[in-house]
Structure 1
């Protein structure tokens, strides 16, 4: 436990040095505020620019409920550019330690591989969760003034569902960071894989059950309809299982590559 706390402290120092604690929340604040502002003002902008060209404006765009707009924030902003930003921000979690020799040095100390991985995941997941949460709240503030209010229970439950999907994104990126030696390749594979997972949601019920991106869809359903989609419980435990599997693979990969002494 002491080594885990020390490693988490080291990670927080690195986060401060890289200014992630500043720019990552700012990115999600920008993403969170973009959707409600664009949804509310886009019809007026199009009408002004259309002029005599007769652009047709759907009046229902400004009549959306707050839950619909917040769900669109998750699906259109956080699940696209947001996921890309997370992967890029976290692609060097283990790769940078490998390339600098820091991983081998750390594991020569009285530190276990599980403590090393745990320190990486816990500290960075806390940072990403807070950043997503801040962007989520920023979106809510604009939605409250421009659209309708959202029930507090639904809002909080949807956020926790979405953060489970974010946990998988982080654990998967960490696994790639342990396996691959190129940050560009880590970012490319991570972004493509996670976006494909998100695109597959809704195509087939069986895929939705085992797809961790289904938690994002459940969060959106909760905000729009007030209830989660079908097979929520199975998808919930399947996502946790995926997280465990990626963490276990990362652990065994580091042990197999003998970064720590015998």
Structure 2
């Protein structure tokens, strides 16, 4: 436990040096505010700029319920640009340590591979979860002000479901960072796979049950309907199985490569 705490502190020191603790939350605050503001003011902006000729604007856009707009923040902002930013921000989570020899050095100390992975996962997940949460609450405040109010319990339930999806994003990116050597390849594979998972949501009920990205869909449905899908619990458990599998592969890969003996 002591080694884990030391490794977590090391990660946060690096985040401070990279200003990640500043720019990542700011990015999600911007993304969270963008959806409700654009949804509410876009028709007026187009009309003021005289650019609405030939453009048909759905009059129901500004009449959406708060839950629908908050759900669209998750689907249109966080699951697209937000997902790419998270993957890029974590693409070097293990690869950087491999490249500069820090991984080999750390594992020559009395540090186990699970402790090393745990330190990476805990620190980066807390950073990602904090950034997503603060962006989500920003969107929630704007939605309540510009549209109808979203019940607090409904908002929290949606957030919990979505943070499970974020945990899978972090664990999958960690796995790819351990396996591949190029940060560009790591980011590309992570983004393509994760967005691919999100795109296929809704195509088939069986696939949805196995798809970690369905947690995002459950979050959105909870916000829009106020009800929790009966399949959400099963999907939640299977998502944790996928997370454990990615962590097992990461642990096996690092242990099998024997970085401590390089």
- Give the direction of change, closer, same or farther, for the CA distance of 1:189–1:51 in structure 2 (3 Å limit): closer
Displacement after TM superposition at 1:48 (Å): 3.8
Aligned twin of 1:148: 148
Aligned residue for 1:229, secondary structure, equals coil
After superposing the two structures, state which structure 1 stretch, 226-235 or 250-259, moved more: 226-235
Please say if 1:254 is aligned against 2:249: no
How far apart in 2 are the matches of 1:68 and 1:253?
Answer: 42
Aligned twin of 2:78: 78
How far apart in 2 are the matches of 1:57 and 1:13?
Answer: 48
- Give the direction of change, closer, same or farther, for the CA distance of 1:184–1:61 in structure 2 (3 Å limit): same
- Give the direction of change, closer, same or farther, for the CA distance of 1:52–1:170 in structure 2 (3 Å limit): closer
Aligned residue for 1:175, secondary structure, equals helix
Displacement after TM superposition at 1:52 (Å): 8.2
Please say if 1:7 is aligned against 2:23: no
Displacement after TM superposition at 1:56 (Å): 3.0
Displacement after TM superposition at 1:141 (Å): 1.4
Q: Give the count of matched residue pairs.
A: 262
Matches within 5 A, 1:118-157: 118-157=118-157
Aligned 8 A contact 2:46 2:52 in 1: no
Aligned residue for 1:59, secondary structure, equals coil
> What TM-score results when the alignment is normalised by the length of structure 1?
0.97
Aligned 8 A contact 1:46 1:57 in 2: no
- Give the direction of change, closer, same or farther, for the CA distance of 1:247–1:48 in structure 2 (3 Å limit): same
After superposing the two structures, state which structure 1 stretch, 1-10 or 42-51, moved more: 42-51
Displacement after TM superposition at 1:260 (Å): 2.3
Displacement after TM superposition at 1:16 (Å): 0.4
Aligned twin of 2:214: 214
> What TM-score results when the alignment is normalised by the length of structure 2?
0.97
Please say if 1:65 is aligned against 2:65: yes
Aligned residue for 1:253, secondary structure, equals helix
Gaps of 5+ in 2: none
Displacement after TM superposition at 1:144 (Å): 1.4
Please say if 1:37 is aligned against 2:45: no
Displacement after TM superposition at 1:49 (Å): 4.5
Aligned twin of 1:197: 197
Aligned residue for 1:212, secondary structure, equals coil
Aligned 8 A contact 1:91 1:186 in 2: yes
How far apart in 1 are the matches of 2:21 and 2:64?
Answer: 33
Aligned residue for 1:181, secondary structure, equals coil
Aligned 8 A contact 1:171 1:243 in 2: yes
After superposing the two structures, state which structure 1 stretch, 58-67 or 117-126, moved more: 58-67
How far apart in 1 are the matches of 2:15 and 2:260?
Answer: 24
Displacement after TM superposition at 1:234 (Å): 1.2
How far apart in 2 are the matches of 1:246 and 1:75?
Answer: 24
Displacement after TM superposition at 1:55 (Å): 3.6
- Give the direction of change, closer, same or farther, for the CA distance of 1:211–1:145 in structure 2 (3 Å limit): same
How far apart in 2 are the matches of 1:226 and 1:66?
Answer: 11
Matches within 5 A, 1:172-251: 172-251=172-251
